[in-house]
Structure 1
Amino acid sequence: MIETKSPVDHNEASPGEDGEKPGADIAFPYDRMTVEQFRRRFPRARWNDDRKAWFVPGRTASRRIGRWLAELEAEADAHADAKGRDAFVFDPIDSPYLQLGKTGFRIRTPYSKTVVDELREVPFSRWDGDLRIWHVPFRSYEELRRRWPDIEAAARRNEPEERRRRAEERKGSEQDIRSRLRSAERRRRRYPLLSHDLPPIGRPVAITYGIVVFTEISGELVAAEVVADFYPDVTEDHVWGYWRQPTLEELVRTWPAKRSPGGDIAWWLPTIEELRPARRTARSREAKRRAKTP
């Protein structure tokens, strides 16, 4: 629906027409029931062929039309919720991760980036940080149903027992050893940088680990033969830079780059697509820190 407030004077309107009266125009696709509801609500409204819109007279017309549109939207949401609930009854999702609530579905799974990414794509879904569950209204059931196989598969993969089983299978393998070495290298919070292309100190930049803030460029040359497994493109021109995680305030203040750079580069200014998840992570990290503070 489109609502436009009528000006006090229309140049093309002749004296005595709607253009000289205070009021507001509203136009919407023709539907018999909607028109009947509209006429009952606004009995003084008149159709204007020139503007292809209904004219509602009165100085408060725009406000009254706004309230009516809000009521229609609420009715549409209620209808969509009822339709979604009926669809669930007809074709339910049987899963230990999903519970039926009064206004929708409550979803609780082990943490999985796949689950988070999938649920964020479901319309009107929201995360409850206090209860640590996702809320999805009934109206979004069709989209939730479509994405559920991937959500459940990711949740099962991240069950503690399943993760322990995979860890036991990997223990002692070459993959496990390499994974441990990579983790140990990352905990050092260092990163090889070309000596002639150094990032700004104290400003969030993006690297292969994500968005970080470099705190120091040591000038120490990188021993390529030692770290070749972690940084295969390292040369004798690389030096070590040391980094930390950015704060939420730093990420919010960071102006995003217009586009992601191409080519093989060590660091770059983050785009908005990279900043958004980093800000969410930082917000969650700071909320946990505040919760632990007595």
Structure 2
Amino acid sequence: MNAWFVPGRTAEKRIGRWLAEMEAEADRFADEKGRDAFAFEPIESRYLEAAPASLQIRTPYARTVVEEIREIPHARWDAARRLWSVPYRSFEQLRQRWPAIEAAAEHSEPEARRARREAVRGTEKEAASRARLKERRRHRYPVPDDDAPPLDRAIGTHVGIVFFIGTDGEIADPATVSAFYFPAADDEEYVWASWRRGTLEELVTTWPARMPPQAPERVRGWWTPTLDELRPARREAKSRRRAKERSQQAAGKALRSEAGG
């Protein structure tokens, strides 16, 4: 077997430093190549700024933007400056995803949001949207009376991954089930079950299903989530935790300021 044998810890450290230097040199070369590619065919957009060290993206919040950028190698979120930073070595991947990123950003501009709200104001579509939002805020979900999901475990549903808390046995109206959740089976009786969002720790430690839910599970309304379902749920949980931490830090800073004043 062809392999290197490095005697002694000092030699091992030298090899480690050498490998790190080689990797850094490769990154610098890739950045230069990406910088040249950007200079030759730049992305011109109000959402993108070419800084000396990286490409910086600042857009209104949109889930599609976040999902697309997270697929770009080495992209990172700068919480202090509220922008995404993408190294030049990832320019090609950014260019491939940019049409979707820019379209989602424009769709999320305040003016575009207001225009969409005005377009549906007073229509049946607006009424239906308000009804869905009101129903979702109740944090309830229909489950078969004779086949309820386990409690306090990550469960895939038609409204995302949730952790069921319990049920008081209240019968769910089939019309409400079909209107807001999934088509109710004619021969099935449903009860309302309350639910909560999972914490990041709970979602990270959830063992995913190997296969996506089959037709009977989707008809039933709940299933064991797959890794593809868990990943966005984990990202959302991480974002919620960061937002909570920022809020707590801001509150603590305000209290210290008041105490000092």
Q: TM-score, normalised by structure 1?
A: 0.76
User: Which consecutive residues of structure 1, in runs of 5 or more, have no partner in the other structure?
Assistant: 7-22, 25-57
Q: Which residue of 2 aligns with 1:244?
A: 196
For 1:173, give the aligned amino acid: T
For 1:161, give the aligned amino acid: E
For 1:268, give the aligned amino acid: W
Determine if the alignment matches structure 1 residue 189 to structure 2 residue 188: no
Runs of 4+ off more than 4 Å: 58-62
User: Which consecutive residues of structure 2, in runs of 5 or more, have no partner in the other structure?
Assistant: 252-261
Q: Deviations over 1:137-170 (max 9, x none)?
A: 0111122122212211111111011011011101
Q: What's the secondary structure of 2:179's corresponding residue?
A: coil
Equivalent residues of 2:142, 2:177 under 8 A apart: no
For 1:180, give the aligned amino acid: R
**Alignment length, in residue pairs?**
243
- The 5 Å alignment of 1:177-256 reads 177-230=127-180, 231-235=182-186, 236-256=188-208
Equivalent residues of 2:142, 2:190 under 8 A apart: yes
For 2:246, give the aligned amino acid: A
Task: Decide which of 226, 229, 239 is 1:271's aligned counterpart.
Answer: 226
- Separation in 2 of the partners of 1:245 and 1:95? 36
For 2:91, give the aligned amino acid: Y
Higher relative contact order (CA 8 A, sep 6+): 2
- Separation in 1 of the partners of 2:177 and 2:231? 31
Equivalent residues of 1:192, 1:234 under 8 A apart: no
Distance 1:161 1:197, change over 3 A: same
Q: Which residue of 1 aligns with 2:70?
A: 120
- Separation in 2 of the partners of 1:121 and 1:251? 20
Determine if the alignment matches structure 1 residue 4 to structure 2 residue 3: yes
Deviates more, 1:251-260 or 1:276-285: 251-260
- Separation in 1 of the partners of 2:35 and 2:178? 56
Q: Deviations over 1:42-64 (max 9, x none)?
A: xxxxxxxxxxxxxxxx8754443
- The 5 Å alignment of 1:54-133 reads 60-133=10-83
Rg larger for: 1
Determine if the alignment matches structure 1 residue 157 to structure 2 residue 107: yes
Q: TM-score, normalised by structure 2?
A: 0.85
Larger proportion of helix:
2
For 1:262, give the aligned amino acid: Q
Equivalent residues of 1:5, 1:62 under 8 A apart: no
Quote the sequence identity (%).
51
Kindly state the Cα deviation for residue 249 of structure 1 after the two structures are TM-superposed.
2.5
For 2:209, give the aligned amino acid: A
For 2:203, give the aligned amino acid: L
- Separation in 1 of the partners of 2:75 and 2:13? 30
For 1:178, give the aligned amino acid: A
Task: Decide which of 169, 174, 185 is 2:119's aligned counterpart.
Answer: 169
For 1:119, give the aligned amino acid: I
For 1:98, give the aligned amino acid: L
For 1:126, give the aligned amino acid: R
